[in-house]
Structures are given as structure tokens and as C-alpha cells.
Amino acid sequence: MLYFDCDYMEGCCSEILKRLAEINMEKNRGYGTDRYCKSAEEKILKACGLSEGEVYFMTGGTQTNSTVISALLKNYEGVVAADSGHINTHEAGAIENSGHKVMTIKNKDGKIAGEDLENYLKNFFSDENNEHMVYPGMVYISFPTEYGTLYSAGELSEIHNICIEYGIPLYVDGARLGYGIMAEENDVTLEYLAHNCDIFYIGGTKVGAMFGEAVVIPNKGSIPHFFTMIKQKGALLAKGWLLGVQFDTLFTDDLYFKIAENAILRANEIKRIFAEKGYRFYINSPTNQIFIIMEDEKIRELKNNVSFGFWEKYDERSTVVRFATSWATAKEDVEKLEKFL
């Protein structure tokens, strides 16, 4: 059986496994106060082109989103997101559970259009009755998006400038950040991202780490007592160095980007194969997720040999399905896939 279900089906890249084994019996202080977290923070900030800043490590995406968003928002504020945003769909109401509304804008290919955001905020702030409404307190976008699409540098900058204009922070969910940065058509560097938002996270779980996400706060000190809020959310790993050493490894010799590139190469091969075989694409995604409109009969046949994701019904006879690659996808699996199509 071939597996293209998602990008988190394996453990971690070999370099990380090695480091974890090497330091296994070392004695380290807890809660991220160890030297590996320190080193990882320094390397990440350097990779971001930040002379100062803060980096915190957590173990998963929903946890990170929930902790960051509730740390940024005041009681009367909500978070603006695309209706397709992960926080709005597949986090079991984590944001609302922390007391805040997810305020949605209709997505365009998984993204928020700058114009739509501008209109949304303009309408809110010009509404005489807005004191009876939830205030937009921050903007959430994902890069890449849930549909595998990317904001261009220009689009990102536009969103950020609108946020600056309205005095609210921009948060970027980078669960698959590596796959975005390494996409061929992408023009957003890690450094550019770090200078065009107020807080973001670098996803490890889906990009080579065993587990872990690194939250980057470019403006040092901008979230007082973030450590305690992480603890309160149950998001503070006792053995924080497990996260530190993973990101220290990923940000040594550009490993994070090198392994991310594999997912892009494999995805591009798969896209070429689908195109050659005449399949229709549901959306033009330049990263590691490929959305295909497939006839239901073909799906039934294919799933005898290949495991992949069902997205949504397309029409009476067809369904949108998702194929995902990752840092771990083998070239030979792609070749085998071609034979089943």
C-alpha cells in the first residue's frame, strides 16, 4: 500500500533521531531553560534576520494557535480569519473555548484577499453600533494555506500594512512553512516573513521534526508573561530540550529547507503525472498538497493500492481528493503511484 494521506505519517528525519539519541541521558533543566532551546532560538532568529526577538516551542498546531491567539487578544476582541482557516474548521472550537470569536472572511483559494480584509475592517470601524460587536483584534492567515496555496510577498505585505493601518497584529500559522518557502513560485523568504508579520510559527511536526512548532516573536517583549500563558494552556513541555534540540538541528546547515524541498520535488512529479494522465486539478497548489477531482469509480479502484485523503464531494460522480507529500516521501513511491493511475 502507498500512503499519501498527509504529511505527518513518519517520525522524524534521521539527523534529529540521532541527536535525540545522543543527548538522551544528558541532564537538562526543564521548561525550555536548557542550552538547546537557547541555541535553537539564536539560530532561528539569525535565519529570520532578526537581531533580537523571542522564540518559544510548543508541541502541536492547535495548541500553538490557541495559546498565541488567546495571548494576543483582549476580552472584547476576536480573530479575523479566512472561513477555510484551520482555526475555524478543524480545531474543535479551541479558539472559542478560550473565549474568542473567529470572525470569518470568505476565502479566495484559501487566502484572504487584501481588499476583502480592508473592507471588513473599514466596515467594522465605521459602524455606529460596533460597541455592541466583537472587535477584530488580530488577523490570522496560514502560509501555506489549508489548500496549499501561497501569499506572494506583495500580498503578504499588503495584508500586513492593512493590519498596521488598523493597529492590530498579524499572526501567520506556518504549520507547513518549509513547504511554502521551498515552493518554486514562492517569493517569501523566512526573513521577509519575519519582517512582515507580528508573530508566526515555524512548523516542525509536518516538516521533519518528531513533533514541535517554534513560535517567533520578532518584537522582543511584546507579549509579557507569554511563558505563564503557555503553562496555563498546558502547552509547556516539561522536557523542553526535546523541542530545542530538534529545532537546533533543523536550523543547522539549512536542514529545515533541504528536507522541505523533497516534498516539493515529489509533489511536482505527482502533479506532472496527474496532468499527463488528464486529471483535473481542483485548485492550483504550488506546495505539497495536491487536490484532484477524481471520478468515484476511479477512487474505489485506486484505494485498493493507494491511501489518500477525501476532501469533499465535487458532483454526482466525482470527488475532490488530496494527495500529500512530505520530507519523507520516497521517489519510488511516486513512481509506483504512476502505475496505479
Would you say 27 or 339 has its CB closer to its own copies?
27
Instruction: Name the minimum Å distance from CB 84 to its own copies.
Output: 13
Strand residue runs (E) in the chain:
2-3, 54-58, 77-82, 102-105, 135-142, 170-173, 199-203, 213-217, 280-281, 289-295, 306-307, 309-313, 318-324
Would you say 28 or 252 has its CB closer to its own copies?
28
Instruction: Name the minimum Å distance from CB 189 to its own copies.
Output: 26
Question: What φ, ψ does residue 233 adopt, rounded to 5°?
Answer: -80, 0
DSSP for 61-110, please give it: HHHHHHHHHHHH--TTEEEEEETT-HHHHSSTTHHHHTT--EEEE--BTT
- Cα gap 241→281, rounded to integer Å: 42
Instruction: Name the minimum Å distance from CB 156 to its own copies.
Output: 26
Would you say 59 or 196 has its CB closer to its own copies?
59
Instruction: Name the minimum Å distance from CB 312 to its own copies.
Output: 9
Q: Which cell numbers in the block locate residue 260?
A: 522541505
Would you say 13 or 48 has its CB closer to its own copies?
13
- Cα gap 10→3, rounded to integer Å: 11
Q: Which cell numbers in the block locate residue 126?
A: 465605521
Instruction: Name the minimum Å distance from CB 117 to its own copies.
Output: 19
